[in-house]
Structure 1
């Protein structure tokens, strides 16, 4: 089966997105030719959505995703012939614990990620990072595990040890959600973000223009970008907000919305 690449990805304007999907299409052609499952690397929900939308348009294929645990954000997509079952797929990922004495040093997700990338590990080789009291738990492709265990020795000047762990050892964060019903002047990004994060519109505008806010996992510096139900807004250092519902206009002309803020 010959794939019509132009029909599948020719409409994309973003060259980075097109490059990602072109690489996935290489995998698809190998699956169709050799009748063997193949895996993508780890991608965020935005790119995973692009991948799935494309795969749904290709007959004779099936796919599934996994990020190492149920609520994972970054996942690998398994692509396989439609006569195979997902149970036959090995996602080839490993769970690692990066442990050290962090009682006197405050470290963040960014510190751990920076240490990994500083070793030359590509971001797409690593899934979610779960920060714990003793360090961080990492989901990664299996092939990089030996390298990480041998070479990741420090995070933010703290010595660390890296070991493989079992799925039942994962310390999953407790998800706390605050639901907020409010009104906004419009469904512009700056208005909705200000309401969701509980700050002024002028302050959130500075954050957006400084490229500190992501809309659906993509940096967005357009203050007037439209927001709709289901959109995810994440602000560096402030967490994440989901637009749950748009209720309609009030008598004063404002728009009622419901947002969920993940604490």
Structure 2
């Protein structure tokens, strides 16, 4: 059995690590593959660093398609490693279509994610969500207990939305986001300023996301945009990936020249 206390010391991802420990112990006991719920792919990769020295287990990160921003972690015994194609084939998720006429009432990924939460899905059961122009959205959800959603009609604000559950290969997978280097000059190294530049979102909207708990710094939810950042800090925004600070340099005019990478 894995020592829970040892792995949780000083971790920024205690909840996610505890879940992975639990399924790892189940995998060790029952000789089968177990999956976590959905988390940011970045978080999945970060917490697996805590498990590098555990020789009894192997892990696999997947979110339904190669560049997914939300993923699950599969855990299996080191002496019972499944084929990767089989893991993908048996990935415990389904596609979801959310169809509606949003020509005069634009809706965002966050709006559709909220619609699913309001109708019984917890966040860990919701993978990537992406909009399909003004006709609604598609996404990936956990395959358990979703029968009540299929063919049902809900309302997002005043727009009627019909839900359909489909196989993953029926989805129109979005184009993957590649890594992007960003160079910017800011008056300060404040979190709200750097997040605004990194995610290409206004500072007002960044502050709104901070207030609603959608923004994390090095894995921890923050409530203030005034925190000063340093090289190596990683800022994560729900549904938008994360940015990492690669370099900070004061200019002659006492402004900050900042180099970021967005993933």
Superposition TM-score tier, normalisation by shorter sequence: 0.7 to 0.9
Q: Identify unmatched segments of 5+ residues in structure 2.
A: none
State the TM-score, normalizing by the size of structure 2: 0.77
Q: Is the partner of 1:52 in helix, strand or coil?
A: helix
Q: Identify unmatched segments of 5+ residues in structure 1.
A: none
Out of 150, 159, 162, the position equivalent to 1:160 is 162
Partner residue in 2 for 1:132: 132
Higher RCO, 1 vs 2 (CA within 8 Å, ≥6 residues apart): 2
CA distance 1:22–1:210, change in 2 (3 Å): closer
Q: Is the partner of 2:145 in helix, strand or coil?
A: helix
- How far did residue 77 of structure 1 move? 0.4
Do 1:115 and 1:152's aligned partners in 2 also have CA atoms closer than 8 Å?
no
Q: In 2, distance between residues paired with 1:260 and 1:164?
A: 35
Q: In 2, distance between residues paired with 1:126 and 1:209?
A: 21
- How far did residue 165 of structure 1 move? 4.3
Do 1:212 and 1:235's aligned partners in 2 also have CA atoms closer than 8 Å?
no
CA distance 1:37–1:195, change in 2 (3 Å): closer
Compute the RMSD of aligned alpha carbons. Answer: 3.5
2:18 is the counterpart of 1:22: yes
Do 2:234 and 2:243's aligned partners in 1 also have CA atoms closer than 8 Å?
yes
Bigger Rg, which one: 1
Partner residue in 2 for 1:94: 94
Do 1:189 and 1:227's aligned partners in 2 also have CA atoms closer than 8 Å?
no
Out of 181, 184, 201, the position equivalent to 1:182 is 184
Partner residue in 1 for 2:4: 5
Count of residues in correspondence between the two structures: 254
State the TM-score, normalizing by the size of structure 1: 0.77
CA distance 1:132–1:174, change in 2 (3 Å): farther
CA distance 1:176–1:106, change in 2 (3 Å): farther
What whole-Å deviation, never above 9, does each CA across 1:103-157 have from its counterpart, x for those lacking one?
2332222221222112221111110111112211120111234222144543333
> Could you tell which deviates more after superposition, 102-111 or 27-36?
102-111
Partner residue in 2 for 1:55: 51
Q: In 2, distance between residues paired with 1:155 and 1:209?
A: 23
Do 1:97 and 1:137's aligned partners in 2 also have CA atoms closer than 8 Å?
yes
